[in-house]
Structure 1
Amino acid sequence: MFPDFNRWSLPLLILVLQGLIFVALLLLRYLKKRNISDLFLGLILLLTCYSQICYTVGFMGWYNEFRTTKINYFLINIGIALAPMIYLYIKSVTTSNFRFKKMYWLHFALAFTVLLYRFTIYTYDALQDGFNETQNGYLKIELDEAYVQSIMSYIESPFMLIYLAFTFQLFYNYRKKIIQYFSNTYKLELNWILSFLILFTLAFLYGTIQDIIGSRFIDLGYQQRWWLNLFMAIVTLYVGVKGYFTDTTKLNKLDFTFTPKTISIPEDANNFEEKSISDTDISTVKHLMENDKAYLNPELNLSDLALLANMTRGQLSETINSGFNKNFNDFVNSYRVSAFKAMLKENKHEQLSLLGIAQECGFNSKATFNRVFKKLTNYSPTEYLKTKLN
């Protein structure tokens, strides 16, 4: 009898309803602030919730109670739309001043084709006699289930795998870019997005293995497939919470995607001329760091330092990369680590915590400080204090 609230349906129902709440919150925020990443994430959650709803109502007894339901016409593999949607979401978050281009609609060509095909066979079957007394019409059985679904099973997995590969590449390229532009990157690393990509990949692998086992070895019933749906429902809720409460709009206001030798500072581009790397450039940068202690600014980025040095961003980047053999992040943080060591020698740790000293030296998070210090000295801050100063 529908609805049947049981141990299979109730957990999915609770998680799906919470997921739909975040769908509504994200779409409402998009309508208010027009941040396109909210739209993408809201649609991602909507797709996953739709998939979970189809299973949830099944566990609640819908298909037993309403045996002529036409839901099978609309049980579409969401991966062909979900994978490109995730790719564009990551792109919208990690690209400065992202704008949706008309060519991006091509990412959804396969999804739209499948939707049109399903609507067509539903329309044809609905016009046939006796359609209201059966669950599946002629084309659904003789065409879709006999041929098309098998073909789609061979298309969907490679399709999703390709998009996952491109999405991970996009994300790691972003990680490489920010160390060329920002001195403190922890808040910009978007670690929760990496977790989301990993979880989605695990769900994809789980689903692929499940489909292989179900089609070639043993018949898997709804209860055996319940675990994947539970996992996806939990991932949906996690993504909804993190995506809604994490501010990713800061990147949209920054222009850090540049080619070092060609891009100048936008706001003062007419006042600068491109120059080759010289000893003067190197001396200017050293003076800013050693005498003016520009590294003490925790928000220091390439554009800020370029303005101070009267250089273009591209010129400054080339000066640091070639003149000091470091990226911008390592270059600035090496001065901060040196300042930290100097303060330890002055016994500042007797007055301040190690984190307090680190903040005095320009670091803005414990995670960044610990990681950078370990990278540049091969010691943790505590190990360095015990080993080097005692």
Structure 2
Amino acid sequence: MATIRYCLLIQAILILFISGGIFFKYKRNLKSWTIAFFSGIFGLEILVFLYGTSKISIIYPQFLGWFYFNMGFLYGPFLWFHFQSFICGKNRYSKVDSLHFIAFIIIYIYLIDVLIVPNEERMQYIRIHFLDRIMPINYARAVHQLLYAIIILYITGKNKTKLSSNVLIYLLTLSIIYICSTLIISFFTLFADGWRQFAYYYLFNNTMIFVIGILLYKRPEFLKEMKKKYSTSTLNYNDMILIQNKINHLFTHDTVFLKNDLTIGYLAEKLDVKSYQISQTFSELIRENFNDYVNRHRIAYSQKLLKNPSYTIYKIEAIAIESGFNNKVTFYKAFTKYTSTTPSKYRSLNKKSKK
């Protein structure tokens, strides 16, 4: 057991160090600071556990009971915010989000009469009333964590089509680890012979945290996604869906892509939105470069012209101009990219097929 406790001490310090680094480096990014708080709270809880199960708590009992029983009510909310930042594009903490901390506040209010008494009296009270006063909090914590685990796993599965493969793997891994952790602490709450046995729970969680670390290490591109270009934007997933539908309408019905000087700024003006919102929609929802998106529509249009008998007399350069390109070179390059052949060969092949 002593070896496990030393391992936990080292791991807790490492977790606090890493989470602190993440927070101070990316504190304006909701994705980053929420996971920093989530892991930081866990590291701090390990230290509180080691303190509460050692002779130090007898010599310095000032902090006994103040933190450990309440900290478990913070994991769910911070993990919820973390998942929301990926699934809904949430980038800022709002006042409504404070409602997630109601359980945490209620527990403090419930314990305030115990916490304000002198140190020795508080220690004695906790020992005497552990079963009728403290254990209900542990049960409530287990239920609280389990509810958040179920909700988080549900929303991840429901919105899996919105997420990239990297993000989906990350969120599913995190939610499964959280559920396993919750089930284990629930088991120990019900069947453990003493508080010291919870060391195995923390050892399991630390192992799982290192699994996440390995996952992130092997997928460095995901770390870049954690620090997105649009981290201060208030645009959410539903807003981007609306913008995407409007873009599709302009390209399908108004053939706006035929405008040879088409820009994001022009689209923003037509749709009455900000330019950065158009860029964010292409980057995070459509997942295609704006120029590639435009050229893909232009090439599809040019293919129709090349197959149309009415345009047989048109030279390739004229087809390019009609399709929205500024010159023949750009047209050839884009056409080859999307069709793996040249415009001339494409026209010839379609003439032969008609014969």
**TM-score of the two chains, using structure 2 as the length reference:** 0.61
Match of 2:59 in 1: 66
Matched, 1:162 2:142: no
Give the whole-Å Cα distance in 2 for the aligned partners of 1:275 and 1:114: 54
Question: Which of 110, 118, 123 in structure 2 is aligned with 1:136?
Answer: 123
Match of 1:171 in 2: 156
Shift of 1:61: 4.0
Partners of 1:80 and 1:111 within 8 A in 2: yes
1:163-242 paired onto structure 2 within 5 Å: 163-178=148-163, 185-187=164-166, 189-214=167-192, 219-220=193-194, 222=196, 224-239=197-212
Matched, 1:36 2:16: no
Give the whole-Å Cα distance in 2 for the aligned partners of 1:119 and 1:237: 36
SS at match of 1:208: helix
SS at match of 2:204: helix
Question: Which of 49, 59, 80 in structure 2 is aligned with 1:55?
Answer: 49
Give the whole-Å Cα distance in 1 for the aligned partners of 2:228 and 2:107: 37
Residues 121, 8 of structure 1: alpha-carbon distance in 2 compared, 3 angstrom cutoff: same
Shift of 1:40: 1.0
SS at match of 1:250: coil
Give the whole-Å Cα distance in 2 for the aligned partners of 1:241 and 1:207: 24
Deviations 1:20-76 (A, max 9, x none): 111210221134xx112222112111211122112333565424x627555134321
Question: Which of 301, 325, 347 in structure 1 is aligned with 2:287?
Answer: 301
Shift of 1:84: 1.6
Give the whole-Å Cα distance in 2 for the aligned partners of 1:251 and 1:47: 28
Matched, 1:45 2:42: no
Give the whole-Å Cα distance in 1 for the aligned partners of 2:54 and 2:61: 16
**Paired residue total:** 266
Q: CA RMSD in A?
A: 4.1
Give the whole-Å Cα distance in 2 for the aligned partners of 1:309 and 1:8: 59
1:347-362 paired onto structure 2 within 5 Å: none
Give the whole-Å Cα distance in 1 for the aligned partners of 2:61 and 2:248: 73
Give the whole-Å Cα distance in 1 for the aligned partners of 2:87 and 2:239: 16
Give the whole-Å Cα distance in 2 for the aligned partners of 1:221 and 1:236: 22
Question: Which of 137, 159, 171 in structure 2 is aligned with 1:152?
Answer: 137
Shift of 1:274: 4.1
Give the whole-Å Cα distance in 1 for the aligned partners of 2:244 and 2:114: 56
Match of 2:71 in 1: 78
Shift of 1:86: 0.7
Residues 273, 94 of structure 1: alpha-carbon distance in 2 compared, 3 angstrom cutoff: closer
Give the whole-Å Cα distance in 2 for the aligned partners of 1:116 and 1:240: 36
Matched, 1:113 2:91: no
Shift of 1:121: 2.9
Shift of 1:167: 0.8
Shift of 1:252: 4.5
Deviations 1:125-164 (A, max 9, x none): 13xxxx55x55255x567x635332433443333222211
Match of 1:264 in 2: 243
List alignment gaps of at least 5 residues for structure 2.
259-283, 299-336, 340-355
Give the whole-Å Cα distance in 1 for the aligned partners of 2:165 and 2:157: 14
List alignment gaps of at least 5 residues for structure 1.
179-184, 285-298, 312-359, 363-390
Match of 1:11 in 2: 7
Give the whole-Å Cα distance in 1 for the aligned partners of 2:295 and 2:238: 19
Q: Which amino acid aligns with 2:205?
A: M
Residues 120, 197 of structure 1: alpha-carbon distance in 2 compared, 3 angstrom cutoff: same
Deviations 1:240-265 (A, max 9, x none): 676796232338469682489x7234
Give the whole-Å Cα distance in 2 for the aligned partners of 1:207 and 1:273: 49
Q: Which amino acid aligns with 1:197?
A: S
Q: Which amino acid aligns with 1:226?
A: A
Give the whole-Å Cα distance in 1 for the aligned partners of 2:238 and 2:3: 53
Match of 1:345 in 2: none
Give the whole-Å Cα distance in 1 for the aligned partners of 2:4 and 2:33: 31
Give the whole-Å Cα distance in 2 for the aligned partners of 1:307 and 1:156: 52
Give the whole-Å Cα distance in 2 for the aligned partners of 1:172 and 1:61: 46
Residues 256, 238 of structure 1: alpha-carbon distance in 2 compared, 3 angstrom cutoff: same
Question: Which of 21, 25, 37 in structure 2 is aligned with 1:25?
Answer: 21
Shift of 1:104: 0.8
Residues 8, 303 of structure 1: alpha-carbon distance in 2 compared, 3 angstrom cutoff: closer
Residues 17, 54 of structure 1: alpha-carbon distance in 2 compared, 3 angstrom cutoff: same
Q: Which amino acid aligns with 2:188?
A: Q
Deviations 1:82-127 (A, max 9, x none): 112111111113332522221111011110222344344322x13x
